[in-house]
């Protein structure tokens, strides 16, 4: 085993057989941290975004914070209830994409897929960026280097997921449960102190907040409603990740749909409790937050804030106030929150590759996304997601407030189309169902999905209106690009499949086979190519060489005559010292003279054992093959000759060894 293989095994672990897929299935206690980390972590930034939006109208608008939180909670409850119907009806793991495709058509399914792909990329970028900001709040030297830290964290999470879904679940379960216990414990402690009347104020409560221009006391009722709508749409970021479980049902242990529905219910209950508790505490503790670009609206005793003022996140300020006499409590809250924000990306790293594999099987994505890696994870999808997220993080400098404007548009597009598809699903089945009990369950499920559709459609309209100019147009543009790209890929695969379909014409034998062996010099690879070409018994066999140096060509001809080969050697003169063009033109001329025949070009090649040796050999052969492959009627045959350095490869990969006495673990089956 080579150094590269050893390193790969250390990073990823031992290979898993395809038959071991069942060993990677998840119990509910492991599935919850894997699929719920995104939705749970959103309580770390969704309340902040609500307060940032309301701050445009000054401190007086914060009175609406708990009402907005309650509205978001109602929408989340409706969506969770709706997706519980989805996981029972479509347990195959296609989720929103499958629901939309089956019930609304391919165009709707592709729209949902494009929305989900964009959302998964943004989930990684937003959660990792927010986690980097929490780390910078706790560790001073990291301040100003959030983007670099975020990129490193993306790489680490991607590496963990390459080890497999079960491995990453065990790795991330402890910090996820620690986050839930810590945040719920902090909120319970804060609410207890609220009841006792000893609730402290956060650090930003002493600041003065000036309304943004145009949002002062002269603000109209319409402007206030628009502001509340913007705050509500920002708070709906808490719903991101709810759909992940419907895409990951196949990863659950049996009974899959029941376990997935139970996990979804736990997710919704915990997320709603934490979000409402944080919003209530933030309001009662005097939290004041503004957009990082508008810090000049905050003043201290009438004076501007000091240069370099760092606006800490809402949870960090609440924890600092509640645990002012117990600093380990503050650091625990900030640490587990930062960790869960990083792990929230794990939800996307589980959802994106699965969706990509389904799209690849349906012909809407490159087929490489459907291939499982050594650990049975969809490695190509994981790597692609990591690269796209890193590009976004660098482009937006890991600023959560800027990235959040791109967020949730795709989520609610998929939510809305999925709920509409579920309505069609139940309506279609009700037409043929005669059992009264089953019809009752279907009618109840349809009613739940109808409520979910009405809520998500309203939120989608609000999000589009309030966030379009703030950056949502970028998300919509990205969705359009993904949509067009997937449709183009599907057309390409369909066209290729039609062209490759076998018919009787392909059974016709060529009338003549004209074999050509390329000769650069007389050595063992050339002799092997000549012998192999003779063994195929072509109608005509000849050797050709391209002359770029008259002395070398003359020496080759003399040696050829001295060895008395029974194969003629033809010289192609190249006055401009080209090697590829003369061979291609000669093969094309033979083909044109006999259109029903075949030209077989044999190319001798060295087989070397090191990558740097490959750079020193076979470059002309590679270019020549690339050109000949586009020439109709020309077949290209590589004749390998293994050099001594290639023995190392056979030693590292025993199954490549020609020694038939060596035992092998590979099984071959002949289809009769």
For residue range 55-81, list pLDDT tens digits in order: 888 888 889 999 999 999 999 998 898
The SS3 assignment for 514 reads strand
pLDDT one-digit tens code per residue, 325-361 = 898 999 899 888 878 877 777 778 877 888 888 898 8
The SS3 assignment for 539 reads coil
From CA 91, how far away is CA 86, in angstroms rounded?
8
The SS3 assignment for 542 reads strand
426 alpha carbon, distance to own chain's centre: 31
What's residue 272's pLDDT? 92
What's residue 56's pLDDT? 87
What's residue 663's pLDDT? 44
pTM for the full predicted model: 0.72
- Among 507, 495, 532, 503, which Cα is nearest to 517's? 532
518: phi then psi, degrees, rounded to nearest 5: -80, 135
Q: What sign results for the dihedral spanned by CA atoms 365, 366, 367, 372?
A: negative
Q: Is the peptide bond before 255 cis (omega within 30 degrees of 0)?
A: yes
628 with 601: CB under 8 angstroms?
Answer: yes
194 with 281: CB under 8 angstroms?
Answer: yes
Partners of 604 in beta bridges: 639
> What residues in the chain have per-residue pLDDT under 70?
1-24, 93-94, 137-138, 164-172, 216-219, 373-377, 401, 404-405, 504-508, 617-618, 647-672
Partners of 303 in beta bridges: 300
Can you point out the beta strands (E) in 203-328? 208-209, 298-300, 303-304
**CA-to-CA dists, residue 429 to 90, 100, 101, 416, angstroms:** 13, 16, 16, 20
What's residue 132's pLDDT? 83
Partners of 518 in beta bridges: 544
Residues 225/229/232/234 CA torsion (nearest 10 deg): -130
What's residue 598's pLDDT? 92
From CA 584, how far away is CA 343, in angstroms rounded?
55
| Helix residue spans in 45-145 (DSSP H) | 46-54, 65-89, 95-104, 106-138
**Fold (CATH) for 20-301+310-495:** Amino acid/polyamine transporter I (1.20.1740)
From CA 393, how far away is CA 148, in angstroms rounded?
9
Domain(s) labelled CATH 1.20.1740.10 in the chain stretch across 20-301+310-495
From CA 529, how far away is CA 524, in angstroms rounded?
9
Average pLDDT over the chain, rounded to an integer: 83
From CA 478, how far away is CA 403, in angstroms rounded?
14
From CA 170, how far away is CA 77, in angstroms rounded?
28
What's residue 505's pLDDT? 63
Domain(s) labelled CATH 3.40.50.620 in the chain stretch across 507-656
- Among 451, 410, 10, which Cα is nearest to 243's? 410
Structure tokens at 37: 């980390």
Nearby residues of 155 by Cβ (< 8 Å), 6 or more positions away? 386, 390
CATH of 507-656, one of 3.40.190.10, 3.40.50.720, 3.40.50.1000, 3.40.50.620: 3.40.50.620
H or E element that contains 400: helix 400-404
253 with 26: CB under 8 angstroms?
Answer: yes
Counting Cβ atoms within 10 Å, is residue 475 exposed (0-12), middle (13-18) or buried (19+)?
buried
From CA 595, how far away is CA 610, in angstroms rounded?
41
């Amino acid at each position: 085993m080579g150094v590269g293989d050893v390193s790969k095994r250390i990073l990823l672990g031992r290979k898993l057989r395809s038959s071991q897929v069942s060993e990677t299935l998840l119990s509910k206690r492991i599935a919850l941290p894997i699929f719920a980390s995104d939705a749970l972590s959103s309580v770390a930034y969704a309340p902040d975004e609500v307060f940032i939006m309301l701050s445009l109208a000054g401190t007086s608008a914060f009175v609406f914070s708990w009402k907005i939180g309650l509205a978001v909670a109602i929408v989340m409850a409706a969506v969770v209830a709706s997706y519980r119907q989805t996981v029972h009806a479509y347990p195959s793991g296609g989720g929103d994409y499958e629901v939309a495709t089956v019930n609304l058509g391919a165009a709707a399914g592709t729209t949902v897929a494009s929305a989900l792909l964009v959302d998964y990329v943004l989930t990684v970028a937003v959660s990792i960026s927010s986690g980097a900001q929490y780390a910078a709040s706790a560790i001073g030297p990291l301040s100003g280097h959030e983007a670099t830290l975020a990129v490193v964290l993306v790489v680490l999470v991607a590496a963990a997921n390459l080890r497999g879904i079960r491995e990453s679940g065990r790795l991330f379960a402890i910090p996820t449960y620690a986050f839930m216990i810590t945040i719920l414990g902090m909120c319970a402690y804060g609410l207890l102190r609220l009841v006792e009347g000893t609730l402290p104020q956060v650090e930003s409560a002493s600041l003065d907040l000036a309304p943004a221009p145009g949002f002062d006391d002269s603000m109209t009722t319409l402007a206030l409603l628009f502001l509340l709508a913007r705050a509500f749409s920002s708070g709906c970021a808490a719903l991101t990740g709810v759909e992940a479980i419907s895409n990951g049902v196949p990863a659950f242990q049996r009974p899959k749909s029941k376990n997935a529905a139970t996990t979804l219910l736990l997710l919704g209950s915990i997320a709603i409790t934490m979000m409402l508790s944080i919003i209530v505490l933030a309001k009662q503790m005097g939290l004041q937050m503004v957009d990082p670009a508008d810090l000049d609206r905050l003043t201290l005793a009438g004076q501007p804030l000091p240069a370099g003022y760092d606006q800490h996140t809402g949870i960090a300020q609440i924890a600092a106030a509640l645990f002012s006499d117990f600093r380990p409590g503050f650091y625990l809250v900030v640490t587990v929150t930062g960790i869960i924000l990083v792990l929230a990306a794990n939800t996307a790293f589980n959802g994106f590759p699965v969706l990509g594999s389904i799209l690849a099987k349906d012909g809407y994505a490159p087929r490489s996304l459907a291939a499982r890696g050594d650990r049975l994870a969809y490695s190509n999808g994981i790597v692609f997601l990591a690269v796209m997220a890193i590009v976004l993080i660098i482009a937006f400098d890991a600023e959560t407030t800027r990235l959040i404007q791109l967020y949730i548009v795709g989520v609610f597009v998929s939510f809305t189309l999925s709920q509409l598809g579920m309505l069609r699903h139940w309506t279609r089945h009700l037409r043929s169902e005669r059992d009264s009990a089953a019809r009752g369950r279907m009618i109840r499920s349809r009613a739940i999905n109808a409520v979910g559709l009405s809520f998500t459609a309203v939120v989608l309209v609000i999000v589009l209106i309030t966030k379009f100019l703030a950056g949502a147009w970028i998300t919509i543009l990205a969705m359009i690009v993904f949509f067009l790209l997937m449709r183009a890929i599907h057309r390409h695969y369909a066209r290729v499949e039609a062209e490759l379909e076998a018919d009787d014409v392909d059974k016709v034998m060529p009338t003549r086979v004209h074999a050509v062996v390329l000769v650069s010099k007389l050595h063992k690879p050339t002799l092997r190519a000549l012998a192999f070409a003779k063994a195929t018994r072509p109608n005509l066999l000849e050797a050709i060489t391209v002359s770029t140096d008259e002395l070398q060509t003359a020496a080759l001809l003399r040696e050829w005559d001295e060895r008395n080969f029974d194969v003629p050697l033809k010289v192609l003169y190249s006055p401009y010292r080209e090697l590829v063009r003369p061979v291609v033109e000669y093969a094309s001329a033979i083909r044109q003279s006999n259109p029903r025949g075949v030209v077989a070009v044999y190319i001798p090649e060295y087989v070397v054992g090191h990558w740097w040796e490959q750079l020193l050999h076979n470059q002309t052969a590679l270019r020549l093959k690339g050109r000949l492959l586009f020439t109709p009627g020309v077949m290209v045959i590589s004749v390998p000759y293994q050099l001594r350095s290639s023995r190392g490869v056979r030693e590292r990969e025993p199954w490549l060894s020609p020694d038939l006495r060596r035992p092998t673990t590979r099984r071959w089956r002949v289809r009769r």
